[in-house]
């Protein structure tokens, strides 16, 4: 009794849930665009049980080729009941043009429900295969590799994106895909946009419903005008195609085939930037930007550094233009800027910031003005140039040497004097000579004779003495190692010695000499590894801690000294320190 009670409750709930939903009759076609010699399938579906007296539309301008065929399905999933009853027709158009399939109707509970009319576009006759069930023809009709471009007429420097989509109809299955040829972007600056997975989405292609996935997406920025071609992407796809036959249980039998697909070639025709209104300082920035110039410290002491930051933020071709250069007074020593980028690339374009950081070091006491800087860009949406200007910056050096003005300089110029004649300014060439006879002296009794006679007797003891000195020196192992190390140090530091007085070239040569020495002794490329790694390598070679630290200190000093004022005396001291550390390392390694 209880079982019958539960069954009756279940049937009641099922009936209530089915009758509770609103009845709706929908019309769905297999394609919205076709040739006049092609066929299409139209399905009328009702979502509520109890429908009766279905009336198809009057298929004016269409010929019914097959149908109607009926199907009914019902399911209960997670407490939700769904019902589907359909009436399917195969029809063929009788003429070209935009044709309308009228509304169908069905009665439910005494109420008549109608579907919406459906419009289809009928074109010229297309070439049909001899066998409509040919798998290659079915695959070609149901799979489409498409390249979609956001804009076909951008400005030069304006970002657009291209997206490659694979559309697949619900009639077939895709088992494997392989990109055989990636697209080329000649004439564009390009960067791939990261795609998180390949989620399947629903969309329309030529007015028909398809499943699709996005295979690849890239941001393109044209760098020149003219017709720029985006070459096709090519793929090999393994497809399960229905054969039109069914197995014993009614399941559709499919056949797997491999077919190559290619996206259509796309042509982009970029526009050149307008000449009218183009600022003289325009360097190719296209987008929408903000511009700022800032100073880290405006009150300094002599030889104390400060930083000037020239930054552009916004959205556009941030990586394809140069930032304006800052001009500083001669009394403020300015170093080459360091470029910092914080840029992200998305489908909407490039956004972020680009900054040049200048290090300045004042030499003299005083107050100095850094003139304002201008930055120009073109906004493609507004089709207009803009110029942004920074404010003047001021640096106040409160301590340091006084700047010598022109009036304080000592006049070291040479004073001109008139030529005085003394009577002996000009002498004449002597035209007469007087000769005296030479005394005929005997060589055997001359001083030269006795010197040559005694020279071998003097040279023998000197040679013996030098030989003993060389023997003692060769037996001095420690001294020989020290002298050899000194020769090595001079060899590696010879280039640095030539650059004494030229700060940047000297410290570059000094650092290179230290790395070349380690490379020659250890057989490794130390210029590509960190100072911490070098310390570890030297420790493994049993180099004492003091020498190890001294070597790293010289390397650090070389890095730091390039950005600070250094005198010739300090450079010579650094040279001697590097020479000493090479000698110590050679003795221990």
pLDDT of residue 469: 75
The answer to whether 271 and 298 are in contact (CB under 8 A) is no
Bridge partners of residue 320, in order along the sequence:
none
Contacting residues for 304 by C-beta, under 8 A, at least 6 apart: 297, 361, 362
Contacting residues for 491 by C-beta, under 8 A, at least 6 apart: none
**What is the end-to-end Cα distance of the chain in Å, rounded?**
99
Q: List per-residue pLDDT tens for the chain, 589 residues long.
A: 444 544 454 444 444 444 445 778 888 887 788 888 888 888 888 887 766 778 888 888 888 888 788 877 776 666 677 777 888 888 888 888 888 888 888 888 778 888 888 888 888 887 766 666 677 777 888 888 999 898 889 999 999 999 999 999 877 788 888 888 888 888 999 888 888 877 888 888 877 788 898 988 999 999 999 899 998 999 888 888 776 666 666 566 777 888 888 898 899 999 999 999 999 999 999 999 999 999 999 888 877 889 999 999 999 999 889 999 999 988 888 889 999 999 988 877 889 999 999 999 988 888 889 999 999 999 999 999 999 999 999 998 887 777 665 544 444 444 444 545 445 544 555 566 666 665 555 666 677 777 877 888 788 888 888 877 777 666 655 555 556 556 656 666 777 777 777 777 887 887 888 777 777 777 676 665 677 778 888 888 888 888 878 888 887 777 766 666 677 777 888 888 888 888 887 777 7
The CATH superfamily holding the domain 2-123 is: Immunoglobulins (2.60.40.10)
pLDDT of residue 307: 93
The answer to whether 363 and 402 are in contact (CB under 8 A) is no
DSSP 3-state assignment of 451? Answer: helix
Contacting residues for 436 by C-beta, under 8 A, at least 6 apart: none
CATH architecture of 478-588: Up-down Bundle (1.20)
Please give the Cα distance from 386 to 288 (Å, whole number). 9
Distance of CA 535 to the CA centre of its chain: 34
pLDDT of residue 247: 64
CATH architecture of 287-399: Sandwich (2.60)
pLDDT of residue 419: 46
In degrees, rounded to 5, the angle at the alpha carbon of residue 539 between the alpha carbons of residues 535 and 544 is 105
Spell out the domain ranges in the chain.
2-123, 135-268, 287-399, 478-588
The sign of the torsion formed by the CA atoms of 569, 575, 576, 581 equals positive
The answer to whether 175 and 255 are in contact (CB under 8 A) is no
Bridge partners of residue 487, in order along the sequence:
none
Domains 2-123 and 478-588 share a fold: no
pTM: 0.52
- 516: which 2 tokens? 């070349």
Contacting residues for 582 by C-beta, under 8 A, at least 6 apart: 485, 488, 489, 492, 493, 514, 517
pLDDT of residue 285: 94
Three-state SS annotation for 469-528:
HHHHHHHCHHHHHHHHHHHHHHHHCHHHHHCCCCHHHHHHHHHHHHHHHHHHHHCCCHHH
Nearest residue to 66 via CA among 84, 39, 44, 46: 39
DSSP 3-state assignment of 233? Answer: coil
Contacting residues for 76 by C-beta, under 8 A, at least 6 apart: 14
3-state helix, strand, coil in the chain (%, to 5): 25, 40, 35
Please give the Cα distance from 175 to 139 (Å, whole number). 13
Cα–Cα distance list, 444 to 123, 231, 439, 456, 459 (Å): 131, 103, 15, 17, 22
Nearest residue to 254 via CA among 308, 313, 312, 173: 173
Please give the Cα distance from 279 to 129 (Å, whole number). 61
Residue 342, φ and ψ in degrees, nearest 5: -135, 85
Cα–Cα distance list, 469 to 457, 463, 507 (Å): 20, 10, 40
- 409: which 2 tokens? 């300089």
């Amino acid at each position: 009794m209880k079982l019958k009670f539960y069954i009756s409750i279940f049937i009641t709930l099922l009936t209530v849930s089915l009758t509770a939903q609103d009845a709706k009759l929908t019309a769905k076609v297999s394609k919205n665009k076709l040739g006049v010699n092609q066929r299409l399938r139209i399905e009328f579906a009702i979502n509520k049980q109890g429908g009766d007296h279905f009336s198809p539309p009057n298929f004016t301008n269409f010929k019914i080729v097959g149908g109607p065929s009926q199907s009914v399905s019902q399911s209960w999933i997670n407490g939700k009941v769904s019902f589907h009853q359909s009436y399917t027709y195969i029809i063929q158009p009788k003429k070209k043009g935009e044709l309308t399939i009228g509304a169908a109707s069905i009665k439910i509970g005494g109420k008549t429900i109608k579907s919406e009319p459906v419009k289809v576009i009928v074109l010229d006759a297309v070439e049909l295969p001899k066998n409509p069930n040919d798998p290659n023809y079915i695959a070609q009709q149901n799979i489409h590799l498409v390249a979609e471009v956001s804009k076909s007429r951008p400005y030069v420097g304006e970002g657009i994106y291209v997206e490659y989509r694979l559309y697949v109809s619900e009639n077939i299955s895709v088992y494997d895909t392989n990109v055989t040829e990636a697209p080329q972007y000649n004439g564009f600056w390009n960067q791939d946009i990261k795609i998180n997975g390949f989620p399947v989405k629903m969309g329309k292609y030529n007015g028909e419903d398809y499943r699709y996935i996005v295979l690849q997406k890239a941001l393109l920025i044209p760098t020149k005008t003219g017709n720029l071609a985006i070459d096709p992407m090519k793929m090999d796809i393994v497809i399960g195609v229905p054969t039109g036959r069914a197995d014993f249980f009614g399941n559709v039998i499919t056949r797997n085939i491999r077919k190559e697909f290619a996206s259509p070639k796309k042509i982009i025709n970029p526009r050149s930037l307008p000449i009218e209104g183009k600022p003289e300082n325009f360097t190719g920035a296209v987008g929408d930007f903000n511009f700022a110039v800032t100073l880290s410290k405006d009150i300094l002491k002599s030889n104390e550094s400060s930083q000037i930051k020239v930054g552009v933020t916004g959205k556009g071709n941030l990586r394809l233009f140069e930032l304006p250069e800052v001009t500083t007074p001669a009394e403020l020593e300015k170093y080459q800027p360091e470029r910092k980028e914080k840029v992200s690339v998305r489908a909407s374009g490039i956004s972020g910031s680009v900054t040049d950081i200048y290090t300045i070091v004042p030499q003299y006491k005083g107050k100095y003005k850094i003139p304002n800087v201008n930055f120009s860009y073109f906004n493609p949406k507004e089709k207009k140039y803009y110029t942004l200007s920074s404010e003047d910056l001021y640096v106040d050096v409160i301590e340091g040497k006084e700047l010598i003005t022109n009036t304080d300089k000592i006049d070291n110029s040479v004073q001109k004097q008139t030529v005085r004649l003394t009577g002996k300014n000009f002498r004449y060439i002597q035209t007469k000579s007087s000769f005296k006879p030479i005394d005929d002296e005997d060589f055997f009794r001359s001083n030269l004779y006795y010197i040559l006679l005694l020279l071998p007797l003097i040279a023998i003891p000197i040679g013996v003495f030098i030989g003993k000195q060389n023997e003692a020196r060769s037996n001095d192992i420690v001294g020989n190692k020290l002298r050899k190390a000194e020769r090595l140090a001079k060899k590696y530091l010879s280039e640095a010695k030539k650059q004494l007085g030229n700060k940047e070239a000297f410290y570059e040569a000094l650092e290179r000499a230290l790395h070349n020495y380690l490379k020659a002794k250890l057989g490794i490329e130390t210029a590509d590894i960190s100072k911490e790694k070098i310390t570890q390598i030297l420790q493994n070679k049993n180099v004492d801690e003091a020498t190890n630290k001294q070597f790293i200190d010289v390397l650090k000093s070389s890095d730091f000294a390039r950005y600070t004022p250094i005198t010739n005396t300090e450079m010579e001291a650094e040279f001697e320190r590097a020479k000493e550390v090479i000698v110590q390392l050679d003795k221990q390694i």
